[in-house]
Amino acid sequence: MELLSMALAAILINNVVLTQFLGICPFLGVSKSAKSAVGMGLAVIFVIFGASLLTFALYKLVLVPFGIEYMQLISFILVIAAFVQFTEMFIKKYSASLYKSLGIYLPLITTNCVVLFVAQDNITQNYNLIETIVNSISVPAGFMLVLVLFSCLRERLDSADTTSSWKGNPVALVVAALMALAFSGLAGIV
């Protein structure tokens, strides 16, 4: 039950994009069509889940026993970069069609701040293994939810008649503000 409320809180209430401002770059960049938003969302869930488990193991098994916790930032970002690279190579080899549709988004995930944030959050919140697993699935699930919703709105927005200086990103950010307002209404449910 506690885990369930933790997952709900991570997806809806403390949503990474709308309340914590993480992963805004892909949120604006990859939300032009609903199809690519779904692909990006799934890729992010997979990468965050894998990278969080790896960094969790690295922290507990290497950094703490040797007393070098100050290397956390450097080692984590290296693990994430390497993991993204491996995922890319793996998908390229085994599923050409998936690679084609994800191709350009995969390398971008390295600089998606949500990945590094979740890896560090698991350590600073002192989560155990099960809590880490729940956290590192539900946080990117929240990212995917907002990304897909936002991309559907943007497809409609493209055909709307906006003033030239507001066209594109500025008006999309106004929509994001309204979404943030809507999500803040969910604050009391857990």
Which residues make up the interface to another protein (CB under 8 A)? Answer: 18-25, 28-29, 70, 73-74, 77-78, 81-82, 110-113, 115-117, 120-121, 124, 164-174, 176-177, 180-181, 184
67: left (phi over 0), alpha (psi -120 to 50) or beta: left
* Nearer Cβ to another protein (26/39): 26
* Nearer Cβ to another protein (25/61): 25
* Nearer Cβ to another protein (6/175): 175
Beta carbon of residue 1, minimum distance to another protein (angstroms, whole number): 28
Beta carbon of residue 59, minimum distance to another protein (angstroms, whole number): 14
- Compute CA distances 104 → 87, 88, 186, whole Å: 13, 10, 34
* Nearer Cβ to another protein (61/82): 82
Beta carbon of residue 33, minimum distance to another protein (angstroms, whole number): 18
